């Protein structure tokens, strides 16, 4: 969304945008709560833009307008990858992180996955998945392959707000915090347990013996083993069983952490595994 700096006709605005590096395909404004659309393509028949020009022959200075630019040409050797599936997953935490799991196609044995360009504008996430293809005549095996990538959805997401994710020619929407978004990431840690003088958090600490309430949490690596782990996160729940929102990150080689002083009675401690794929579900122990 942009604003005009001076009074300008739709044609002059289109020409100015082109000089600025945006070749517009459509320009749209609202008049009386209704969208008016100007098709900026030179070949557009005159009758297409007649309603716009009749309503808005000139855009006044400070007029807000929406513009859609022609996509920039791809570098030589790159092409848009066909998109097979797009899914949004989340971490299992009080303040979850989100990732897009994108499966793209490799249409021949010569096509190679190149990269994913990602950007965000407000509530819209845009990703461009690119393949590299040979520029010389070569015999390519007729093999259709697949590549799956996980891309973080960066920035804060407001619980309950709807967001749009556009990946090449596919678009999906999701609501942050929705229970329908599955937990993604590596397998969860196993054998999570507490150790200390009073490891059972249902037992009250005797008056004047606060040190006996301190515990350490121990865990085993996820099964099956995941070599790409980048660390673990430690979580706590209060006496009502509600996650406190705080989290402690430790290295991938760690198998214990402490001391902690969980709420008694009823509090608990949990551990989640982290990798480039995201965060596992939290395994809780009391």
Q: What is the CATH number of the domain that holds 218?
A: 2.60.40.10
Residue 180 domain-assigned (yes or no)? no
Residue 18, domain extent: 2-69
**Alpha carbons 212 and 216: distance in angstroms, whole number:** 11
Claim to verify: residue 62 and residue 100 sit in the same structural domain: no
Is 182 among the domain residues?
no
Mean pLDDT for back-to-back runs of 10 residues, the chain (286 residues)? 89 86 86 86 80 90 87 82 93 80 91 91 92 85 87 88 94 92 85 93 90 94 76 91 84 95 91 84 82
Do 233 and 198 lie in a common domain?
yes
The answer to whether residue 115 is domain-embedded is: yes
**Total tally of structural domains belonging to the chain:** 3
Q: Please give the helix or strand (H or E) that residue 35 lies within, else none.
A: strand 34-39
For CA atoms 179, 182, 184, 187, give the dihedral sign.
Answer: positive
In degrees, rounded to 5, the angle at the alpha carbon of residue 212 between the alpha carbons of residues 207 and 216 is 145
- Within this chain, do residues 64 and 20 fall inside the same structural domain, yes or no? yes
Question: What Cα–Cα distance (Å) separates residue 196 from each residue in 158, 193, 199, 211, 214?
Answer: 39, 10, 5, 10, 7
Residue 62: inside a domain: yes
Residue 83 placed within a domain: yes
Instruction: Give the CA radius of gyration of the chain.
Output: 27
Shared domain check, 139 and 57: no
* Any domain includes 206: yes
Residues 127 and 205 in one domain: no
pTM given for the model: 0.55
CB 283 within 8 A of CB 192: yes
- Based on the fold, state whether residues 217 and 130 are members of the same structural domain: no
CA 10 to chain centre: 36
How much is the pLDDT for 150?
Answer: 80
pLDDT at 104: 94
Within-domain flag for 185: no
Residues 97 and 170 grouped into a single domain? yes
Domain final residue pick, 150, 175, 200? 175
Last residue of a domain, one of 69, 92, 121: 69
Considering the domain architecture, whether residues 214 and 160 belong to the same structural domain is answered as no
* 204 and 168 belong to one structural domain: no
Residue that is last in its domain, among 120, 141, 175: 175
86 and 127 fall within a common domain: yes
Contact 101, 144 (CB under 8 A): no
Among 193, 153, 156, 160, residue whose Cα is nearest residue 177? 160
Report how far residue 255's alpha carbon sits from residue 191's, in angstroms, rounded to the nearest whole number. 11
Q: How far apart are CA 123 and CA 176, in angstroms?
A: 11
Asked whether residue 260 falls in the same domain as residue 194, the answer is yes
């Amino acid at each position: 969304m942009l604003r005009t700096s001076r009074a300008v006709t739709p044609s002059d605005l289109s020409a100015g945008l082109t000089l600025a590096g945006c070749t517009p395909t459509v320009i749209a404004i609202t008049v009386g709560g209704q969208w008016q659309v100007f098709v900026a393509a030179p070949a557009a028949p005159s009758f297409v833009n007649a309603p716009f020009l009749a309503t808005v022959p000139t855009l006044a200075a400070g007029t807000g307008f929406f513009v859609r630019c022609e996509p920039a040409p791809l570098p030589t050797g790159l092409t848009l990858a066909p998109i097979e599936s797009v899914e949004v997953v989340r971490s299992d935490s009080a303040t979850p992180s989100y990732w897009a799991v994108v499966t793209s196609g490799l249409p021949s044995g010569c096509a190679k996955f190149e990269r994913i360009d990602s950007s965000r504008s407000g509530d819209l996430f845009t990703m461009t998945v690119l393949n590299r293809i040979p520029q010389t005549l070569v015999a390519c095996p007729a093999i259709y392959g697949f590549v799956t990538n996980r891309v973080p959805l960066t920035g804060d997401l407001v619980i309950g707000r709807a967001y749009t994710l556009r990946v090449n020619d596919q678009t999906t929407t999701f609501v942050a915090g929705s229970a329908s978004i599955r937990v993604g990431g590596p397998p969860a840690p196993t054998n999570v347990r507490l150790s200390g003088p009073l490891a059972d958090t249902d037992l009250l600490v005797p008056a004047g013996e606060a040190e006996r309430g301190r515990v350490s949490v121990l865990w085993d690596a996820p099964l099956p083993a995941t070599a790409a782990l980048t660390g673990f996160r430690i979580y706590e729940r209060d006496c009502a069983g509600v996650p406190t929102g705080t989290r402690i990150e430790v290295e991938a080689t760690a198998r214990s952490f402490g001391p902690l002083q969980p709420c008694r009675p009823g509090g608990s401690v949990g551990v989640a595994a982290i990798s480039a794929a995201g965060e596992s579900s939290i395994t809780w122990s009391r």
